[in-house]
Amino acid sequence: MSPQHRLEYLQRMIVTAAQMRSIEQRIFDAGMPIAAVMEKVSGRLALRIQALYPQPSTHRIGVLVGPGHNGGDALVVARELYFQGYEIMLCCPVSRLKDLTATHLHYLENLGIACYQSVDPLAECDLLLDGLFGFGLDRVLTKPISTIVDVVNEWDIPRLSIDLPSGLHTDTGQVLGTAICATHTLCLGLWKLGLLQDDALHYVGQAELIDFDIPLADIAAVLGEMPSVQRVTPQCAIAALPLVRPASTHKYKMGHVLLICGSRRYAGGALLTGLGARASGVGMLSIAVPQSLKSALSVQLPEALIVGCPETEDGAIAELPASVTLSSFNAIACGPGLTTDATAVVEQVLTSECPLVLDADGLNIVAHHGTIPTLHKRQAPTVLTPHLGEFKRLFPEIADGMDCRVTAVQRAAKHSTAIVLLKGARVVISDPHGSVRVNPTSTPALARGGSGDVLTGLLGGLVAQKFAAPSSTTLLDVVQAGTWWHAQAGCLAARKRTELGVDAHTLTNFLIPALARQTQIGTE
Ligand SMILES: NC(=O)C1=CN([C@@H]2O[C@H](COP(=O)(O)OP(=O)(O)OC[C@H]3O[C@@H](n4cnc5c(N)ncnc54)[C@H](OP(=O)(O)O)[C@@H]3O)[C@@H](O)[C@H]2O)[C@@H](O)CC1
Ligand SMILES: Nc1ncnc2c1ncn2[C@@H]1O[C@H](COP(=O)(O)OP(=O)(O)O)[C@@H](O)[C@H]1O
Ligand SMILES: [K+]
């Protein structure tokens, strides 16, 4: 495997603490000495740290040393940086250290490097290395370590965490009492699940993976040849998008999506969903809205077929016109801006034989009427796209006390027999068989009313294209690709316009430029 392919493969992998320990054990059992692994890891860390924090602007480095091998890593890094000319100060608040860690500490002390129990002497450093705990942390931090963490979090000094910010649970990303709030996290070997949990993001800072040549056979032996939980990478997202059209195609071969959205109260939801679908490249776009929205929408989306529907007194869709045959579409995307008055339409859609993306009030109606069992009867695939509030309403038992988004979404997908996409800072998607994808790159600029409507339209258009033509791409692949694309548009828009400048309408204008940039097709 080429170095580039290896890196792409590693970027897709996610491990729990138990899985990392099994992989580590296989390496040791095969004869690689533990001390040699630590040297290798730390050598790569030291190189990266020198690149991130070069001399002379960074000179004095404070190192927080914990009792286990995370502390050992920190000490070896400290030694290497010392020989490169940095001034090193150690803080080791515990007396009982693992043997290898104790050996390295002994050597550093013999080199004349000062080691303190208190953290106060490190207050004037230019950089702090956090080697208190890695994936071996299994309980809440107590004094004096918890105090040290709280103190350094107050200092105006960059903090670089080795493997994980100390104090975070390796799998759930939850804070065990307190945790280092890192500027950078250099994750070792394989991405730890906890770093991808929304709760952890505040602590993780900029995260990077440091490869230390774990044999791929050991990874596959523990995670499987096709690991069920994966990070979304640009390569796998792009591969699932319908970027190249057959030369002799025509519009009906490129998918026909029906959007069912909007109400007099939430007219904008229909437009944003429509603009998202338009960017997907779908061949035909039909949009069912309350009759009173029809003319305004026709002006804004001239290429779409706008279907005006009979409406309730409050301006929600009362029913679909008889002329609409749901089974004639390749996909339906339903929900944004409907209000819960549109119950009859959602029930009709649920019983249709058309692939369905259900969002927003579509989900609220399902939750309110307890219609999850209806999903089991559906012959065609379903994608549910709740945010956390909708997720809690849909799956109250699963959400109750949920501490890991990945496990919760896996359970929800199994329970509903649908693909479930849980929105948030790090979108988690699971199919009913438990295959999970986590999107690791996004921007808080998307935390804004209407950006989810754009995603629903985009997904609807992509799902329609998938079902319009036979393909080996799975629905999960398509959904993760749409999620990645949406987030990339947010990132590009935020770069060009600041995080404040990414309203949902603007976001739709960045979908195509973001894709063009990522695929290097066209120019802006
Ligand atoms: N995997 C790999 O391939 C490689 C892994 N490497 C590195 O090793 C790291 C994992 O090392 P690790 O297993 O020694 O665990 P680590 O996180 O340093 O500390 C656990 C120690 O802390 C203790 N302890 C736990 N909780 C506590 C608490 N609340 N308060 C106080 N103490 C607590 C617990 O001891 P206990 O008290 O339970 O006996 C244990 O001694 C990993 O993150 C990476 O940096 C690389 O060097 C090489 C390649
Ligand atoms: N902090 C965040 N970082 C990145 N993306 C976010 C963040 N918060 C929300 N998002 C994304 O923004 C979108 C919001 O969707 P949703 O909550 O349904 O909003 P709306 O219903 O108003 O359109 C989702 O795609 C979600 O993943
Ligand atoms: K750490």
Q: Give the ligand with the smallest distance to the CA of 38.
A: 1
188 lines ligand 1 (CB under 6 A): yes
User: Are residue 305 and residue 379 in the same domain, yes or no?
Assistant: yes
Cα-to-centroid distance, 71 and ligand 1 (Å): 8
Task: Say how many domains are in the chain.
Answer: 2
pLDDT tens track, the chain, 524 positions: 899 999 999 999 999 999 999 999 999 999 999 999 999 999 999 999 999 999 999 999 999 999 999 999 999 999 999 999 999 999 999 999 999 999 999 999 999 999 999 999 999 999 999 999 999 999 999 999 999 999 999 999 999 999 999 999 999 999 999 999 999 999 999 999 999 999 999 999 999 999 999 999 999 999 999 999 999 999 999 999 999 888 999 998 899 999 999 999 999 999 999 999 999 999 999 999 999 999 999 999 999 999 999 999 999 999 999 999 999 999 999 999 999 999 999 999 999 999 999 999 999 999 998 888 889 889 999 999 999 999 999 999 999 989 999 999 999 999 999 999 999 999 999 999 999 999 999 999 999 999 999 999 999 999 999 999 988 999 999 999 999 999 999 999 999 999 999 999 999 999 999 999 999 864 43
- Residue 152 CA to residue 159 CA, distance in Å, equals 8
Q: Measured from the CA of 385, which atom of ligand 2 is nearest?
A: 18
Q: Which residues are annotated as a binding site for (6S)-NADPHX?
A: 69-73, 134-140, 163, 337, 387, 453
Identify the domain boundary among 203, 226, 249: 226
Nearest CA to ligand 2 atom 18: 452
Cα-to-centroid distance, 138 and ligand 1 (Å): 9
- Residue at 99 is within a domain: yes
- Residue at 523 is within a domain: no
User: CA geometry: angle at 307 spanning 303 and 309, to 5°?
Assistant: 155
**Beta partners for 229?**
436
Identify the domain boundary among 226, 242, 277: 226
What pLDDT, on a 0 to 100 scale, did the predictor assign at position 1? 86
How much is the CA Rg of the chain, to the nearest whole Å?
Answer: 26
Nearest CA to ligand 2 atom 8: 447
CATH number of the domain to which 24 belongs:
3.40.50.10260
User: Are residue 90 and residue 181 in the same domain, yes or no?
Assistant: yes
Cα-to-centroid distance, 220 and ligand 2 (Å): 34
User: Are residue 218 and residue 246 in the same domain, yes or no?
Assistant: no
Q: Measured from the CA of 34, which atom of ligand 1 is nearest?
A: 48
CB 338 within 8 A of CB 379: no
- Residue at 524 is within a domain: no
- Residue at 149 is within a domain: yes
Q: Measured from the CA of 336, which atom of ligand 2 is nearest?
A: 21
Q: Is 248 exposed, middle or buried (0-12, 13-18, 19+ CB in 10 A)?
A: exposed
User: Are residue 185 and residue 270 in the same domain, yes or no?
Assistant: no
pTM of the predicted structure, to 2 decimals: 0.96
Q: Give the ligand with the smallest distance to the CA of 459.
A: 2
Q: Which residues are annotated as a binding site?
A: 69-73, 130, 134-140, 163, 166, 337, 387, 452-453
424 lines ligand 2 (CB under 6 A): yes
What pLDDT, on a 0 to 100 scale, did the predictor assign at position 372? 87
User: Are residue 349 and residue 470 in the same domain, yes or no?
Assistant: yes
Nearest CA to ligand 1 atom 31: 141
67 lines ligand 1 (CB under 6 A): yes
162 lines ligand 1 (CB under 6 A): yes
Q: Which amino acid is at 213?
A: D
- Residue at 171 is within a domain: yes
Which of 517, 1, 465, 522 is CA-nearest to residue 234? 517
User: Are residue 78 and residue 221 in the same domain, yes or no?
Assistant: yes
Task: Give the DSSP H or E segment for 438.
Answer: strand 436-438
User: Are residue 201 and residue 312 in the same domain, yes or no?
Assistant: no
What pLDDT, on a 0 to 100 scale, did the predictor assign at position 523? 40
- Residue at 13 is within a domain: yes
427 lines ligand 2 (CB under 6 A): yes
- Residue at 203 is within a domain: yes
Nearest CA to ligand 2 atom 14: 452
Quote the tokens at residue 98: 């693992």
User: Are residue 249 and residue 212 in the same domain, yes or no?
Assistant: no
Region class of 337: left (phi > 0), else alpha (psi between -120 and 50), else beta: left
Range of the domain at 21: 3-226
Nearest CA to ligand 1 atom 13: 136
136 lines ligand 1 (CB under 6 A): yes
Identify the domain boundary among 192, 226, 260: 226
- ipTM value of the model? 0.95
Task: Give the DSSP H or E segment for 290.
Answer: strand 284-290
CATH number of the domain to which 455 belongs:
3.40.1190.20
Nearest CA to ligand 1 atom 41: 68
User: Are residue 269 and residue 386 in the same domain, yes or no?
Assistant: yes
Helices (H), 31-111: 34-52, 69-83, 99-110
User: Are residue 122 and residue 242 in the same domain, yes or no?
Assistant: no
Task: Give the DSSP H or E segment for 287.
Answer: strand 284-290
Task: Please tell me whether the peptide bond between 246 and the residue prior to it is cis, using omega within 30 degrees of 0.
Answer: no
Cα-to-centroid distance, 481 and ligand 2 (Å): 16
State how far the alpha carbon of 18 is from the alpha carbons of 67, 100, 177, 226, 477, in Å.
19, 21, 21, 18, 27
**3-class DSSP state of 152:** helix
What pLDDT, on a 0 to 100 scale, did the predictor assign at position 99? 98
- Residue 199 CA to residue 167 CA, distance in Å, equals 12
User: Are residue 275 and residue 222 in the same domain, yes or no?
Assistant: no
What's phi and psi for 248, nearest 5 deg?
Answer: -100, 20
Q: Which residues are annotated as a binding site for K(+)?
A: 70, 130, 166
What pLDDT, on a 0 to 100 scale, did the predictor assign at position 521? 63
- Residue at 170 is within a domain: yes
User: Are residue 334 and residue 460 in the same domain, yes or no?
Assistant: yes
Buried-state track 28-49, b at ≥16 Cβ within 10 A, e below 16: eeeebeeeebbbebbebbbebb
Q: Measured from the CA of 164, which atom of ligand 1 is nearest?
A: 43
